[in-house]
């Protein structure tokens, strides 16, 4: 199966943290053209900071999309100045939680939504995370830090207290990294 052909691309608008584009695409199978809208944003990073005691450094914050206070892991946009996803992970974790770590491990890269979003999300584990000082939050951010033991994560997800698909995908990748083959 082949990709479709881009016939036209138009910028619809800039909306603070993403841009919206209209794409006119032609199917290689049918030859017909169809309209699509694509949300374009910088790549994102999500970090799972884990303390030496096996606790995940989580963040609780208000989210405008669902109009709810959610429990998540730290993360955000990879800035042009970050250099690479691990630097972005280090920065976001430090800003949002006040934690640092010396050992970072890339767990993988996922697509937030390949149907309508162009960007990727890098998932990084920060091992042996430790508290370094106060948070450094920007104007609109109000974030509570909450330590949750790794063993409690599955029930927080199945009970619907952790709901963000990118956070759940991050823990899937962590499970694969730390999984010990049976037998």
Strands 5-15, 18-26: pairing is antiparallel
- 53 near a second copy, judged by CB under 8 A: no
- 13 near a second copy, judged by CB under 8 A: yes
How far apart are alpha carbons 53 and 40 in whole angstroms?
38
- 8 near a second copy, judged by CB under 8 A: no
With vertex at residue 44, the alpha carbon angle to CA 3 and CA 42, rounded to the nearest 5 degrees, is 65
**Footprint of a second copy on 79-98 (CB under 8 A):** none
Cβ-based nearer residue to a second copy, 119 or 130? 119
Q: Which of 7, 8, 11, 37 binds a second copy (CB under 8 A)?
A: 37
Q: Which of 6, 8, 149, 161 binds a second copy (CB under 8 A)?
A: 6
Tokens found for residue 31: 């030859």
- Segment interacting with a second copy, rule: CB under 8 A, options 79-87, 95-103, 126-134, 139-147: 139-147
- 116 near a second copy, judged by CB under 8 A: yes
- Segment interacting with a second copy, rule: CB under 8 A, options 49-57, 89-97, 127-135, 165-173: 165-173
Strands 75-77, 55-63: pairing is unpaired
User: Residue with structure tokens 């030859």?
Assistant: 31
Q: Which of 8, 79, 113, 161 binds a second copy (CB under 8 A)?
A: 113
- 136 near a second copy, judged by CB under 8 A: no
Tokens found for residue 89: 């992970």
Helix (H, G, I), strand (E, B) or coil at 170: helix
Helix (H, G, I), strand (E, B) or coil at 92: helix
Q: Mention every residue, 6+ apart, whose C-beta is less than 8 A from residue 90.
A: 100, 101, 104, 126
Question: Phi, psi at residue 161, to the nearest 5°?
Answer: -95, -25
Tell me which residues touch a second copy (CB under 8 A): 1-4, 6, 12-13, 15-18, 20, 22-23, 25, 27, 29-30, 32, 34-39, 60-70, 72, 108-118, 121, 139-140, 142, 144, 154, 157-158, 160, 163-166, 168-169, 171-173, 175-176, 179
């Amino acid at each position: 199966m082949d990709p479709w052909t881009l016939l036209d691309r138009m910028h619809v608008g800039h909306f603070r943290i993403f841009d919206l584009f209209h794409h006119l695409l032609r199917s290689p199978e049918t030859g017909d053209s169809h309209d699509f809208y694509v949300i374009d944003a910088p790549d994102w990073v999500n970090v799972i900071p884990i303390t030496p005691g096996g606790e995940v450094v989580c963040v609780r914050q208000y989210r405008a999309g669902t109009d709810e206070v959610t429990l998540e892991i730290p993360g955000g946009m990879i800035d042009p100045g970050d250099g690479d996803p691990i630097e972005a992970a280090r920065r976001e974790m430090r800003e949002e939680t006040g934690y640092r770590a010396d050992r970072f491990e890339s767990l993988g890269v996922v697509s937030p939504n390949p149907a309508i979003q162009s960007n990727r999300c890098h998932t990084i584990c920060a091992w042996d995370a430790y508290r370094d000082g106060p948070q450094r939050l920007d104007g609109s951010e109000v974030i509570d830090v909450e330590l949750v033991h790794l063993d409690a994560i599955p029930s927080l997800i199945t009970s619907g207290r952790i709901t963000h698909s990118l956070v759940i995908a991050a823990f899937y990748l962590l499970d694969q990294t730390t999984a010990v083959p049976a037998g």
